[in-house]
Amino acid sequence: MSKRKEVTTRPMELSHQIFPRVLPHIYAWTKVYGRNFLCCYGTQAHMVVTDPELIKEVLNNKEREYPKIQFDHYMKKLLEEGTVTARGEKWAKLRKFSNHAECLKAMILAMITSVEIMLEGWRKHNGKEIEVFQKFKDSFLSNYLEGEQIFDKLTRFAHLIFKNPYKIRVPGVGYHLQIQCCGQLLKTSDDVESEKLEQGIRNSIFNMVRKREEAALIDQMKQHYGSDLLGLLVKASHDTDEKVKLSIDDVIDECKPF
């Protein structure tokens, strides 16, 4: 964590060498231990692979010899049962919705509109330095402004995850030794905040799903839920084929990583 803090305190050079910036500790360890090595985060052992050919083999994983990592606590609460954590048949069903490159052409006009709105806002800061990080985000929505509150909650949730990476889990209890008092478990402030953020994210996405459904009902002949990722997911939630149909929880969980 100290290496990451040290790196982020200074501007990044204008180059494509993002590895030392994003994962400075891993980059430093590869210089000492080689491209592939074993390390531990708390009680979990991790095999770090940076060799391109071996990475291809792991990602291909046709024989399913490389299982997915099992997330705990905050990360698990955020990702739930989306593509990142799903396995087997459920993963196969969800992954085709995440790979939505074929819909990019249909989203071009929405992208142009979003960029124009963003640039118009920048004109007010003429001659001043602008922090653009908050503006460049992938989105499950075609309209950036529509999901701005969700982005804010996701960013705050991410801060909690990076703030609590090495806490040791007590079996049967969780990451924190919780004391039962008056029939309730005492939780840390981070636990309480994570629950509020997760519920807020879920409620916001749920409301957007309902808006898409209501808009489609107005024009029942088209039944068009939108050309972005959310539209594809909402459409799948109304599919009559059970092998393709998604539940509302599936839709929400799939939207979170985006």
Residue with token string 């024989």: 63
109 and 115 in contact (C-beta within 8 Å)?
no
| Pair 133, 54 in one domain | no
- Statement to judge: residues 118 and 156 lie in one domain: yes
Residue 175: band (very low, low, confident or very high) from pLDDT cuts 50, 70, 90? very low
Strand boundaries in 96-248, DSSP class E: 180-181, 184-185
Does residue 103 share a domain with residue 156? Answer: yes
The lowest-confidence range among 97-101, 148-152, 153-157, 180-184 is 180-184
> Residue 134 sits in which domain range?
95-167+184-256
Rounded Cα distance, 125 and 115, in Å: 16
Nearest to 233 by CA among 225, 243, 242, 241: 225
Q: List the Cα angle 141/94/253 in 5-degree steps.
A: 55
* Exposure b/e, 50-65, CB count within 10 A at least 16 = b: beeeeeeeeeeeeeee
Mean pLDDT of 119-128: 81
The average pLDDT across 51-76 equals: 81
One domain, residues 190 and 241: yes
| Mean pLDDT, rounded, of the chain | 78
Q: How many domains does the chain have?
A: 2
pLDDT at 135: 65
Asked whether residue 158 carries a pLDDT value surpassing 50, the answer given is yes
Q: Decide: pTM greater than 0.75.
A: no
Q: Is residue 87 part of a domain?
A: no
What is the distance in angstroms between the CA of the first residue and the CA of the last residue of the chain? 25
Segment 125-131 mean pLDDT: 77
Both 40 and 113 in a single domain? no
